[in-house]
Chain A
Amino acid sequence: MAVTGNTSLRFSEEQAMLLDVARDFCRDRSPIATVREQLESETGFDPALWQEMAGLGWSGIALPEACGGAGLGVAGVVPVVESMGRALLGTPLISSTLAGQLLLRAAGPEQRESFLAEIAAGVPATVALLENGDWGDEGLACTVDGDGVLRGTKQFVTDAGVAQIFIVTVEFGGAPALAIVRAEALGQGAIRPNMLIDRTRRAATVEFDGAVVAEGSVVTGERVPAALRDLRLLGALLAAAEATGSAAACLDTIVEYLKTRKQFGRLIGSYQALKHPAVDILAGVDAARSFVYHAATLVGAGPLHRDAEIACRMAKAQATESLAYAGDRAVQFHGGMGFTWECDAQLYIRRAQWSQQYFGDAQHHRKRLASLLFD
């Protein structure tokens, strides 16, 4: 089989409409000045804006119509997330979408329905997955017992401060399971916010010790392991979509400066030492976008197949490195200005460091791609 394999890429009218609307919305509602206002806020986003997004139906794009969603799957969220990445707009959309997907894929209809309806309506949710900084560690020290009592701590829980529903990955009776924990079940001081390098986002260490879940809130069974695997791939895809948007915006910022800044009597964009790397950044953004929409084409409602896995991993590996390179060069090309807080380059280089690790860095994915392609 050819290692370049499946190259299908389709883009539906619904996706095109969402891209169009989301791009305008994010540009108008999240200009850089607004992004900067949110850097020091508690939530990292404007709750009224999130309500507006929920009102547009974005929190339910990927969820089935039976739960109040749009039934467009993760492929429908991708253009919205890309647009948010472009505007550096941090909201719980990725966290909530992933929590919804995990429940949708792991739990039966009666168990998941009411939670999914809440998520679709805009109640923020998140997945509590990591127990340490190693994205390759799938071990579970967190447990839930027969009485619904949790033990353990989760780290890097995104949007933990605003989430009303936590989908906690736990061990139950020797197998992976999900505990659906309401925010009110957490103890005082259970959420310890991180100071992140990317100030447009929020994450925290969450102490689940002693939290009790309601009856029927532990998801077990054979669908759980596959759902967890898919969660990591869908997370990689959404992280890639967001990073692609941010890399494109970073390129715009670079190009704008190169077209206006003069040194030694010339516009600096006329120097090939800056021109050619700018073209390389464009190539990185182009490749990332192609992989992202290729992956969006292949991720359906069922368990992700091999081609979809390859596509998600390639999207993440590409987008991560494209943004890291763009952010790095953005600072350098702005010269002395680039070293200041005031210059927007800092926003992108910081975003790049977040995106790089989120759902596994490029090496993490290339290592797994090698097994998929060569073994």
Chain B
Amino acid sequence: MTATEQELKEFRAEVSAWMQANKPADPGFLLPQTFMEVGDERQLEFLREWQHRVWSAGYLGMAWPREYGGGGVAPAFQRVVDQEMRRHGVPICFNVIGLGWAGPLINDIGTAEEKARYLRGILSGEDIWCQGFSEPDHGSDLGSAQTRAVRDGDEYVIDGQKIWTTMGNFAKYMILLARTSTDAARKYDGLSFFLAPMAVPGIETRPIRKLTGEYGFTETFFTAARIPANCLMGEEGQGWQIAMRTLQYERGAEAGAAGGLAMVRVTIDDMISQLRDLRRDGAPVLEDPVIRDQLVRLVMEEKAIALGERRSHIAPLTTDYPGSLPLSHKLRATEAARRMRQFAINLQGAEGALYVGDGAARQGGFWQRAYLNSFSATIGGGTSQIQANIVAEHVLGLPK
């Protein structure tokens, strides 16, 4: 299935017109920038309705099979939609674990029955999915997961605990990584992968209150929770392999994901355009020479990351310290984002002290909340300090 340039061009115009006509009005409360920030029912219902509207228009899961709620067309069309969504600044498609992890996985290796049961609900937003990989004592070390799954007749009995479960309290299903063998020699192939229902006795979620004052994650406790044995994906012992497979869908619709905007990217352009009317010493803030110097530094930080991405594909320019650019990317990009948001508060003078909930806060306290939330990226997936160790050891070859 391919699409011609002309088809895509016409389609883009159509999508653009639709976004323009259907972009929701400001709901009067702050919307999440990422799916990890869905803190209350009000936000959830708003986003659920939005995703449903996008899907109903035929703009989500466009490359998934028609029989399961998809569009059955080339992924290039979905890419156009995703680009137009970003351009029009519409809200996110919040069911990210379903759209980008569980869905493509089921599409890829699931049975016909699994496809029929799960895919449509993922696209419509009716069935929210969460992910149960991380555990309290094994933040970044997935292979050491200790949550147990023991086969008992037609069921598995689950015992253990997961943490940082995004939307755990709203989710109907979880992609769960649990240990089916405790044989020490079988660290990785002792793990199995489940499509687990959340509404069973013995599964309990406890929302985690974030430093923003909001919610978004839960701790998830399993106490002799019984799930049907047919929730097992693949065979016992294939859990690690399947979990790794889910990571490849991150690259978007071409890689199998349903598409949709997963996060609202905030750039330095947004900051400059939204804050340029601020004043300092009685004059526009952008006339202050110190502020200008700082801003140029931040622009350069963002640009260096974009250029590094380009350079990483040019082999002769990456021979010095191979792997440096890709391995440093998370560290640099998340730290730059954090610094930029912090600076946005700094620019606001006394207004910088206001927070979400104060009617006078700029953009409803958007930058203040964004700064606090930015730590989810500098900590999650391996803290910046661990990232620096990884780069030092794997790229520079420094000793442990």
Q: List the interface of chain A (C-beta within 8 A of B).
A: 2-5, 7-11, 15-16, 19-20, 248, 255, 258-259, 267, 269-270, 272, 275-276, 278-279, 282-283, 285-287, 289-291, 293-294, 314, 317-318, 363, 366-367, 369-370, 373-375
- The reply to whether the CB of B320 lies closer than 8 angstroms to some CB of chain A is yes
Which residues of chain A are near B320, meaning CB under 8 Å?
A: 248, 285
Tell me if B295 and A282 are in contact (CB < 8 A). Answer: no
Closest to A86 in B: B320
Q: Which B320-349 residues have a C-beta within 8 angstroms of A?
A: 320-321, 324-325, 328, 331-332
**A267-B399, A286-B324 given. 20 additional CB < 8 A pairs?**
A7-B303, A10-B314, A19-B316, A255-B397, A269-B392, A275-B388, A275-B392, A275-B398, A276-B385, A276-B392, A282-B395, A289-B317, A290-B304, A290-B311, A291-B307, A317-B300, A318-B304, A366-B292, A366-B293, A370-B296
Which residues of chain B are near A373, meaning CB under 8 Å?
A: 295-296, 299
Closest to A252 in B: B320
Which residues of chain B are near A375, meaning CB under 8 Å?
A: 286
Tell me if A11 and B316 are in contact (CB < 8 A). Answer: yes
Task: Provide a sorted-by-A list of 17 A–B residue pairs whose CB atoms are within 8 angstroms.
Answer: A3-B269, A4-B269, A4-B299, A4-B306, A11-B317, A19-B316, A259-B399, A276-B388, A279-B331, A282-B328, A290-B311, A293-B317, A294-B310, A317-B296, A363-B293, A367-B289, A373-B296
Between B293, B296, B317, B389, the greatest number of chain A beta carbons within 10 A of the residue's beta carbon is seen for B296
Given A278-B398, A374-B272: A3 touches B304 (CB 8 Å cut-off): no
Tell me if A367 and B311 are in contact (CB < 8 A). Answer: no
> Is chain A's interface secondary structure helix, strand, loop, or mixed overall?
helix
A291 to B304, CA, bound (A): 7
Tell me if A374 and B314 are in contact (CB < 8 A). Answer: no
A287 to B333, CA, bound (A): 12
Closest to B310 in A: A9
Tell me if A279 and B289 are in contact (CB < 8 A). Answer: no
Tell me if B396 and A282 are in contact (CB < 8 A). Answer: yes
Closest to A295 in B: B307
Tell me if B303 and A275 are in contact (CB < 8 A). Answer: no
- The reply to whether the CB of B400 lies closer than 8 angstroms to some CB of chain A is yes
CB distance from B179 to the nearest CB of A (A): 32
A363 to B293, CA, bound (A): 7
Select which of B272, B292, B303 is within 8 A of A314 by beta carbon: B303
Q: List the interface of chain B (C-beta within 8 A of A).
A: 267-269, 272, 286, 289, 292-293, 295-297, 299-304, 306-308, 310-311, 314, 316-317, 320-321, 324-325, 328, 331-332, 385, 388-389, 391-392, 395-400
Closest to A290 in B: B307
Tell me if B310 and A290 are in contact (CB < 8 A). Answer: yes
> Is chain B's interface secondary structure helix, strand, loop, or mixed overall?
helix
Tell me if A3 and B299 are in contact (CB < 8 A). Answer: yes
A15 to B328, CA, bound (A): 26
Between B303, B308, B332, B399, the greatest number of chain A beta carbons within 10 A of the residue's beta carbon is seen for B303
A2 to B306, CA, bound (A): 13
CB distance from B280 to the nearest CB of A (A): 14
Select which of B295, B308, B396 is within 8 A of A278 by beta carbon: B396
Given A279-B392, A366-B296: A4 touches B328 (CB 8 Å cut-off): no
Given A2-B269, A3-B272, A255-B397: A278 touches B299 (CB 8 Å cut-off): no
Tell me if B324 and A282 are in contact (CB < 8 A). Answer: yes
CB distance from A324 to the nearest CB of B (A): 14
Select which of B302, B314, B325 is within 8 A of A11 by beta carbon: B314
Select which of A15, A248, A366 is within 8 A of B297 by beta carbon: A366
A287 to B378, CA, bound (A): 20
Tell me if A4 and B302 are in contact (CB < 8 A). Answer: yes
Tell me if A279 and B296 are in contact (CB < 8 A). Answer: no
Tell me if B314 and A9 are in contact (CB < 8 A). Answer: yes
Closest to A4 in B: B303
CB distance from A83 to the nearest CB of B (A): 12
A8 to B309, CA, bound (A): 11
Between A3, A10, A285, A373, the greatest number of chain B beta carbons within 10 A of the residue's beta carbon is seen for A3
Tell me if B325 and A286 are in contact (CB < 8 A). Answer: yes
CB distance from A245 to the nearest CB of B (A): 10
A332 to B330, CA, bound (A): 28
A15 to B317, CA, bound (A): 10
A375 to B328, CA, bound (A): 33
Tell me if B295 and A374 are in contact (CB < 8 A). Answer: yes
CB distance from A45 to the nearest CB of B (A): 25
Given A286-B328, A290-B311, A293-B311: A370 touches B293 (CB 8 Å cut-off): yes
Tell me if B311 and A370 are in contact (CB < 8 A). Answer: no
